[in-house]
Structure 1
């Protein structure tokens, strides 16, 4: 916009007055100039790694976020808690939502300190373990007399598993994919690519929501096992392909995809 002095002053305040910003100023100006020359890209350009790779990461993360089954668990949490032995499922659902809010607040405070990638890994590992507890307890409950002490213990374990899933989801995979997507997409495809990734996210959310009740009626243990497999794959996906974006400029991130 021609506001070079304001731009440099703002960047200096952001980075600190004892930091040399000359190289970053040059990188940003060069990136803006390049983006202005080519505001749109051709279909053939999508074959370049710097375009398709970050787009694939963004879409993959947002699809896995929903395939974890979180919306199905939230929407049918009252039925799930009642099936686990809690008489008042509505109160349990309110408590489930409250712990998710707290976990999300914790995630917001940690994302710029711990890093995006480590929180995604912790979140995915935690969800996998929690879903394993829920699946195993629901499977075993089917073969244990309801009046027994073991059945009561299994009910507690299943509730801990479901609540743990919600906590670990909110700690990372629930919010960080949106942050990463905004940081890894090139400027000249950010609008279109972001729209495609969001469409994929909500389409998968619709599929999960429509199938969750059918799956839960079929087998609660089987349902949580499916979600556990997805969370396990998320660990692999993050470990292999998702870059750490903490403390890196947009220009540095883009260069890593070339």
Structure 2
């Protein structure tokens, strides 16, 4: 809500704009225009640099998630791992990521956004080194646990940092880079893992956090966090770095201070408060979308893609894994473009229909192989189903649930609600990734048909429960949900 001072400031700016055509000294006007452009370019450059450094954490997230897909066969042979041991190795990352995500808010509020990213990088580097030097399951699992804890912190602090440093007009576009870089990291692991050993791939995983730590030396801390903890001088310096040395930051600084004061006045909601009748519907929507996102099978298929293609009849699984990796990035970009054109709800429906179809085709292909029918076509059908699945997931179900989650919760319950939703998401990721190998050994076609069934549930849930949030204010979204 605009204050009286904001209105006066706006009126004054309006009068200045009206007066500009009547200023005789055109040289001053040109000079001022060039100076403004230079300030804008300088501020955008620092925001872009800061974003580029932060999304190294997102790149690390994707690299860690994608690590198991191309390495399963070699790791199992070299370290003599059983199906249960590899299932634990693949899935333990989700347990530690869950812990990291739950504790990340407190960490980021205590040591700052940059401090949280640095701490996360230390955990990731330690984890990758443990995996690289592993001679057995214990060291392997320890390393995977450490990297998982690190990416759990990244999953919270990277989008928060980007949102807090970005100008309003750039915030939406810059925050979506987080999801793009996660997909890019996953694709890099898929592609590079087909040509290097699992130990070499672990060393490559060290690169993003190392780059992030170096980059942190050259970017400012979040001005909003500095204001929140009362470090006023550093707050002013950080905001000026991000907006330009000669930019007028007083209006934005006042707005940040006013927002912090208003937030401090709001009651702090706990988990039990989320079950109040006023909030139960957005909680159901947020939690339901995360359940649907995970139970469509994404982490099972993503973690073990190479073995799926081998089971389907491909000699090494590498060609399918490469195709999987190459599809993710461009389709994710298409989804980002469509997000504010078509809307959130339609993307979710298209995406869930596509994922449902993809896993149904894959399950049907495995059924044909089990019945010794259409053996010449079944492997192609299985691979096509997996690729349809990942393309459909990338265009909507990957990013949209997180965006809707940020839009549907009232401000004073976002902390508690966000923690609950993240916990449900990582818990679902663990269940699917841990059980996937056992399910495949039980029945390949049954596994994918089960995921297809959850796809149908997702379609029904989106139709019945999820509102369209595109172009609506927080108040309008709340009115829509509660109507």
TM-score (norm 2): 0.46
Q: Identify the residue that residue 313 of structure 2 maps to in structure 1.
A: 85
The aligned runs of 1:206-245 (5 Å cut-off) are 206-245=430-469
Q: What count of residue pairs does the alignment treat as equivalent?
A: 236
Alpha carbons of structure 1 residues 198 and 3: separation in structure 2 relative to 1, 3 Å: farther
Match of 2:376 among 146, 149, 152: 152
| Aligned match for 1:53, one of 281, 285, 302 | 281
* Contact in 2 for aligned 1:128/1:231 (Cα 8 Å): yes
| Aligned match for 1:161, one of 356, 361, 385 | 385
Matches within 5 A, 1:108-257: 108-144=336-372, 150-257=374-481
Distance 1:142 1:241 in 2: 38
Please report the RMSD computed on the Cα atoms of aligned residues, expressed in angstroms.
2.8
CA distance in 2, matches of 1:205, 1:39: 32
Cα separation, 2, equivalents of 1:55 and 1:4: 37
In structure 1, distance between residues paired with 2:360 and 2:289: 21
Check 1:77–1:47 CA distance in 2 against 1; reply closer, same or farther (3 A cut).
closer
Q: 1:103: which partner in 2?
A: 331
Contact persistence 1:50–1:254 (CA under 8 A): no
For structure 1, list consecutive stretches of 5 or more residues without a partner in the other structure: 16-30
Spell out, residue by residue over 1:223-257, the C-alpha distance to the aligned partner (whole angstroms, 9 max, x if none). 00110011110000000000000111111111223
Change (3 A) 1:46 1:236: same
1:32 Cα deviation after fit: 9.6
Q: Secondary structure at the match of 2:358?
A: helix
1: CA distance between counterparts of 2:429 and 2:5?
A: 43
Corresponding residue for residue 25 of structure 1? none
Structure 2: gaps (5+ residues)? 11-166, 170-258
Q: How far is the alpha carbon of 1:2 from its aligned partner?
A: 7.1
Q: Secondary structure at the match of 2:278?
A: helix
Q: Secondary structure at the match of 2:313?
A: coil
Distance across 1 between alignment mates of 2:260 and 2:477: 15
Kindly indicate whether the alpha-carbon contact (under 8 Å) linking 2:340 and 2:470 is maintained by their aligned counterparts in 1: yes
Between 1:134-143 and 1:204-213, the stretch displaced more is: 134-143
Aligned to 1:24: none
Q: Which residue of 1 aligns with 2:200?
A: none
Kept after mapping to 1: 8 A contact 2:310/2:316: yes
Q: Quote the residue 2:6 is aligned against.
A: 5
Q: Could you say if the C-alpha distance between residues 79 and 36 of structure 1 is closer, same or farther in structure 2, counting changes exceeding 3 Å?
A: same
Larger Rg computed on CA atoms: 2
Instruction: Tell me, yes or no, if the aligned pair for 2:274 and 2:417 is still in contact at 8 Å.
Output: no
Alpha-carbon distance in structure 2 between the residues aligned to 1:237 and 1:188: 26
Scaled by the length of structure 1, the TM-score of the pair is: 0.83
Q: Helix, strand or coil for the counterpart of 1:151?
A: coil
Q: Distance in 1 between matches of 2:299 and 2:271?
A: 34
Cα distance in structure 2, aligned partners of 1:4 and 1:73: 55
